[in-house]
């Protein structure tokens, strides 16, 4: 093993030991930064983030021995995946409450179970209403009066026609169809019960009525939902809101269908952020013609967020973050590694955007860069410089180097 390899191994051991000491002795341990200030001779604060580093030279064998790998600065689109948990709910525009507009009593209950599927126009129940019977009798009386008045007598005829029209409108306001009204006027047969029918194809989400029950006008009897389209709603962190816009494509993975994904689009983003969770609710619409998506199901929402259409990026592990500056090590000729300060932008998965400091195609150190950084600092007389007993260590007195 060469002296240089021995020094690299010792450097790594000292760094690990220093970290361990700092953890075991939080009050009295000496950190690497404190040791650097002590070794620099003055005890003042020293800038070790970039100014105190020099170009490092390693042979191919030395670089391989400490696990140095390389990568290239790339230019291209920068995107990341935003992920959140969501729940399937009925689409609110497709909900409908069935309520009577007159008081009465439930005679027949045709749809008598929650979850039952219904078709458009299917009878839900029949409602006996004394008010409805009286209104029909008024319509028949108004019809007979209008027929008995001569049209030549304009004022009485007009009053009779207005009374007939008012009787018809009253029944229409109670959801009596125009066909039922016409049949009543033709046959003169009063309908004892009012039939309430389903307004669309759907399922019964709620049922609040039983046979024989007395009901009042405005009371909710059923809640129906058309589930041909459903929503899946989830919460997105404030940090990711800029990447999730209305109309953005979304991928949905449901727990009930492992290994499959479904496509949808963001239909709404809540205009306010929850001050406690720092999230905003988002909504994705899904076509559900087959009825596979059921309200209450849990799933995962994934959005591919395009952050930049053209950006310089490097692997996140290639950047040495010191707290004051961010560095990469540029690979030069003959095994040289030059420390280069960079300005970091957004992070996308395991890649970081680089705003300044390198160019596309530059070759940099991808791993083991903390060891390269340690040697760069040592080469400039930084942390642990001049420690006796370490062969070929920068800053060592010449007399020490000559000792066997």
- Domain 81-92+227-307 in CATH 3.40.190.10? The answer is no
Q: How far apart are CA 317 and CA 329, in angstroms?
A: 12
Residue 228, number of CB atoms within 10 A of its CB:
15
Query: What gap in Å lies between CA 384 and CA 282, rounded to an integer?
Result: 53
CATH 2.40.50.100 fits 93-225, yes or no: yes
**Separation CA 280–CA 272 (nearest Å):** 6
pLDDT tier, 52 (very low <50, low <70, confident <90, very high otherwise)? low
Range(s) of the chain covered by CATH 2.40.30.170: 81-92+227-307
Q: What is the pLDDT of residue 380?
A: 66
What mean pLDDT comes out for the span 271-288?
Answer: 94
Give the residue-averaged pLDDT of 52-57.
80
How many whole angstroms separate alpha carbon 109 and alpha carbon 107?
Answer: 7
CB-based contact 352:345 (threshold 8 Å): yes
- Position 150 scores a pLDDT of 81
What's residue 148's pLDDT?
A: 87
Q: Indicate the average pLDDT of the chain.
A: 81
pLDDT at 300 over 60: yes
pLDDT at 210 over 90: yes
pLDDT for position 245:
86
Residue-wise pLDDT tens digits, 126-179? 999 999 899 999 999 999 888 888 877 888 888 989 999 999 999 888 878 888
The pLDDT value recorded for residue 230 is: 96
What is the location of CATH 2.40.50.100 in the chain? 93-225
Q: pLDDT digit string (tens) for 216-240?
A: 999 999 999 999 999 999 999 998 8
Distance of CA 372 to the CA centre of its chain: 39
Share of the chain above pLDDT 90, in %: 44
pLDDT, tens digit (0-9, with 9 covering 90-100), for 258-278:
989 999 999 999 999 999 999
Q: Would you say residue 398 has pLDDT above 60?
A: no
């Amino acid at each position: 093993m060469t002296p240089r390899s021995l020094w690299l191994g010792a450097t790594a051991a000292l760094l690990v030991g220093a970290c361990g000491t700092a953890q075991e002795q939080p009050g009295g341990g000496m950190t690497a930064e404190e040791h650097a200030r002590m070794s620099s001779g003055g005890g003042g604060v020293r800038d070790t983030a970039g100014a105190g580093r020099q170009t490092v030279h390693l042979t191919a064998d030395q670089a391989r021995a400490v696990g140095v790998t390389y990568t290239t600065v790339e230019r291209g689109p920068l995107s990341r995946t935003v992920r959140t948990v969501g729940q399937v709910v009925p689409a609110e525009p497709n909900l409908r409450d069935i309520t009577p507009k007159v008081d009465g009593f439930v005679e027949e209950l045709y749809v008598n179970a929650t979850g039952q599927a219904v078709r458009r126009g299917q009878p839900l129940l029949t409602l006996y209403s004394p008010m409805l019977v009286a209104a029909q009798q008024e319509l028949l009386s108004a019809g007979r009066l209008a027929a008995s008045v001569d049209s030549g007598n304009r004022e009485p005829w007009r009053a009779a026609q207005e009374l007939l029209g008012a009787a018809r409108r009253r029944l229409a306001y109670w959801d009596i169809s125009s066909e039922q009204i016409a049949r009543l006027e033709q046959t003169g047969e009063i309908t004892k019960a009012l039939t309430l029918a389903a307004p669309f194809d759907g399922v019964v989400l709620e049922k609040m009525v039983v046979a024989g029950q007395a009901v009042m006008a405005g009371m909710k009897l059923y809640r129906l939902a058309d589930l041909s389209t459903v929503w899946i709603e989830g919460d997105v962190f404030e940090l990711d809101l800029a990447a999730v816009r209305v109309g953005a494509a979304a991928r949905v993975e449901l727990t009930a269908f492992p290994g499959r994904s479904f496509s949808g689009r963001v239909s709404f983003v809540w205009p306010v952020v929850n001050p406690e969770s720092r999230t905003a609710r988002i909504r994705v619409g899904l076509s559900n013609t087959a009825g596979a998506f059921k309200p209450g199901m849990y799933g995962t929402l994934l959005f591919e967020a395009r952050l930049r259409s053209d950006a310089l990026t490097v692997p996140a592990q290639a950047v040495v973050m010191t707290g004051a500056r961010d560095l990469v090590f540029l690979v030069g000729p003959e095994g040289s590694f030059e420390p280069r300060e960079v300005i970091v932008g957004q992070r996308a998965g395991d890649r970081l955007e680089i705003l300044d400091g390198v160019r596309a195609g530059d070759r940099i150190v991808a791993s083991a860069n903390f060891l390269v950084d340690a040697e760069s600092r040592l080469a400039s007389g930084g942390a642990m410089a001049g420690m006796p007993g370490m062969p070929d260590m920068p800053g060592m007195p010449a007399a020490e180097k000559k000792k066997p």
